Amino acid sequence: MKVNRRRGKVYLVGAGPGDIGLLTVRGLRCLQKADVVVYDFHLNAQILNYIKKEAEFVYAGKRGGHHEMTQDEINNTLVEKALEGKIVCRLKGGDPFVFGRGGEEAQVLAREGIEFEVVPGISSAIAVPAYAGIPLTHREYASSFVVLPGNEASTKEESSIDWRFLAAQKGTIVFLMAVKNIGQVTQRLIEYGKPADTPVAVIRWGTRADQRTVVSTLSEVPEAVANHVIRPPAVVVIGDVVRLRAQLNWYERKPLFGQRILITRPYKEEYEPLESLGAEIIEFPTIEVVPPESYRDLDRAIDNINSYDWIVFTSANGVRFFFRRYFELERDVRDLKGIKICAVGSSTASSVREYGIKVDLVPESFRAEGLIDAFGGMDSVKGLRILLPRADVAREVFPERIRQLGGMIDVPVTYRAVRPERHAKRLQRFLKEGRITIATFTSGATFTNLCEMLGDDVIELLRDVTIVAIGPVTKKEIEKRGLQVKIMPGKATIADMVDAITKHFTSND
């Protein structure tokens, strides 16, 4: 092992119980600067999208008693990576110091003289009951609560839990990791005097789209757990506060609760309304937008920018990459004086306006005849010089029509849409388990790239998923593979797609 003279640093970060919105700002900042991330199974994998691409990912496992790495191996990894001079983020579900063995990891780092920080996370002991509508304390029901591990062998003669004291408590009892031992736990409490009719709630995958809550009593909850096939991870809440769930159950009543939506482009703020209605977003971009292989044609167009009558932008990416190169060549926006700007769609127009540039024409769709009419008709096109900065793969209908009518048009490649190198195993597992309910595609390429990434069985995996497509070209690409597009917004924007999904699932019709 090559040891760097400059020692690194380890951040022990709590990622929260599942809802990505419960990751702290401090935790996010530590993730974004990490060179190495050592992470567990019980995380919202969307968090990993915030880690810089060049970072090293180390999967530590820890799922249902099966460990991909032993605790000693995890400790050694943290030490080795830090000694290499790297910033290490140990990413743990919930809070690192609440039954997370974060204290043990911190001790190892302290003994080795490695600098570390602890970033607390929101514990499932608190967050999961809250998402099930169960306050742990309430003036009329409970003034205290206690949190215990439920995976202890509770039938052993010398338990570390004082069951007599616990059974006598009037407050709320929270067990983590107790599902497998639920029978022993409830039996012990009843044996030491806890009333058999004490309310109990068992919440699986709390704060997630597939959250499931079973309410029962102390004597009947083992049978209820078996009947509803409740498996780990789950939180068990015991006490009178469980009665408040009937009134305070806010999360599971959201109109899109239970919907897990696959988006095949990078996340944008336009998706937030879906999350506010209870849906969970799974971000799995199948397209990565990168610069062109050569700037030769674009540079030539920019050098002769004053020769054009119109610049036509068909996407926000076209706007972004055009102006990035424009300013890299030290051009001034004042050089665009006298040139009219056409932006296809409101989103593209907004991107242009961010540069302080007025948009002269905003057609809603990129159709050749419609654009020609917008320019003033066929007779007005003759002699026009048009610049169309675009992707490397694009339809030729509009440029060919312009040339047929006597106009001149340059179409320099301004950006490329490529298929990213990503592991798709988790997404495949979610699809096989029926945990993806909606899949969205904003172009034919987002769909075909997903097919290539998932392999031959992708069509069957998507068969029972509600398919959403932006635009007729995308819809055609999907349906020729034998799938049905159930939702297509009237306008080709993310905002309109979000609105169409919302209406589809919240309509009373």
Domains and CATH numbers, the chain: 9-122 (3.40.1010.10), 126-248 (3.30.950.10), 260-287+420-506 (3.40.50.10090), 294-418 (3.40.50.10090)
- Name the nearest CA neighbour of 53 among 288, 264, 265: 288
Catalytic residue among 19, 35, 62, 194: 62
88 pLDDT tier (thresholds 50, 70, 90): very high
Q: Which residues contact 334 (CB under 8 A, 6 or more apart)?
A: none
Maximum Cα–Cα distance for the chain, whole Å? 94
Catalytic residue among 19, 35, 40, 95: 40
Cβ–Cβ < 8 Å for 239, 198 = yes
Q: Is 72 a catalytic residue?
A: no
What are the CA-CA distances from residue 376 to residues 34, 136, 269, 309 (Å)?
A: 55, 67, 36, 13
1 pLDDT tier (thresholds 50, 70, 90): very low
Percentage of the residues of the chain whose pLDDT score is greater than 70: 93
Characterize the bridge pairing of strands 36-40 and 87-92: parallel
- Produce one character per residue of 326-352: b if its CB has 16 or more CB atoms within 10 Å, e if not: beeeeeeeeebeebbbbbbbebbbebb
Is the pLDDT confidence value at 360 over 90?
yes
64 pLDDT tier (thresholds 50, 70, 90): low
Q: Is 177 a catalytic residue?
A: yes
Q: What pLDDT was estimated at residue 382?
A: 86
Strand order of the sheet with strand 212-217?
Answer: 145-149, 172-176, 234-238, 199-204, 212-217
Least confident of 50-64, 124-138, 300-314, 326-340: 50-64
Is the pLDDT confidence value at 373 over 80?
no
Q: What pLDDT was estimated at residue 155?
A: 45
- Tokens in use for 131? 């998402």
Is the pLDDT confidence value at 365 over 70?
no
Q: pLDDT tens digits, residue range 279-303?
A: 999 999 999 899 999 999 999 999 9
189 pLDDT tier (thresholds 50, 70, 90): very high
389 pLDDT tier (thresholds 50, 70, 90): very high
Q: pLDDT tens digits, residue range 92-112?
A: 999 999 998 999 999 999 999
d(CA 278, CA 285): 22
Q: Which residues contact 152 (CB under 8 A, 6 or more apart)?
A: 159, 160, 161, 181
Looking at residues 355-380, what average pLDDT do you find? 76
24 φ/ψ angles, rounded to the nearest 5 degrees: -75, 155
Q: What pLDDT was estimated at residue 479?
A: 96
Is the pLDDT confidence value at 63 over 80?
no
d(CA 509, CA 505): 10
Is the pLDDT confidence value at 398 over 80?
yes
DSSP of 241-304: GGGGHHHH--STTSTTTT-EEEESS---GGGHHHHHTT-EEEE--S-EEE--S--HHHHHHHHT
Looking at residues 296-314, what average pLDDT do you find? 95
Is the pLDDT confidence value at 376 over 90?
no
240 pLDDT tier (thresholds 50, 70, 90): very high
Catalytic residue among 92, 177, 194, 488: 177
Q: What pLDDT was estimated at residue 481?
A: 93
Q: What pLDDT was estimated at residue 67?
A: 56
Q: In the chain, what is the straight-line distance between the N-terminal and C-terminal CA atoms, in Å? A: 65
Cβ–Cβ < 8 Å for 260, 274 = no
Is the pLDDT confidence value at 230 over 90?
yes
62 pLDDT tier (thresholds 50, 70, 90): low
Which alpha helices (DSSP H) does 91-162 contain, by range? 102-111, 124-131
Q: What pLDDT was estimated at residue 133?
A: 98
Looking at residues 226-242, what average pLDDT do you find? 96
Q: What pLDDT was estimated at residue 84?
A: 95
Which alpha helices (DSSP H) does 329-424 contain, by range? 346-353, 368-374, 378-381, 397-404
Looking at residues 189-211, what average pLDDT do you find? 96
Burial class from Cβ neighbours inside 10 Å (0-12, 13-18, 19+) for residue 3 reads exposed
Least confident of 76-85, 365-374, 477-486: 365-374
Q: What pLDDT was estimated at residue 205?
A: 94
Q: pLDDT tens digits, residue range 13-43?
A: 999 999 999 999 999 999 999 999 999 877 8
Q: What's the chain's average pLDDT? A: 91
- For 3, which DSSP code? P
Ranked by mean pLDDT, which of 142-156, 415-429, 432-446 comes out on top?
432-446
Is the pLDDT confidence value at 364 over 60?
yes
Count of beta carbons in the 10 Å neighbourhood of residue 497:
26
51 pLDDT tier (thresholds 50, 70, 90): confident
Strand partners, 4: none
Cβ–Cβ < 8 Å for 370, 363 = yes
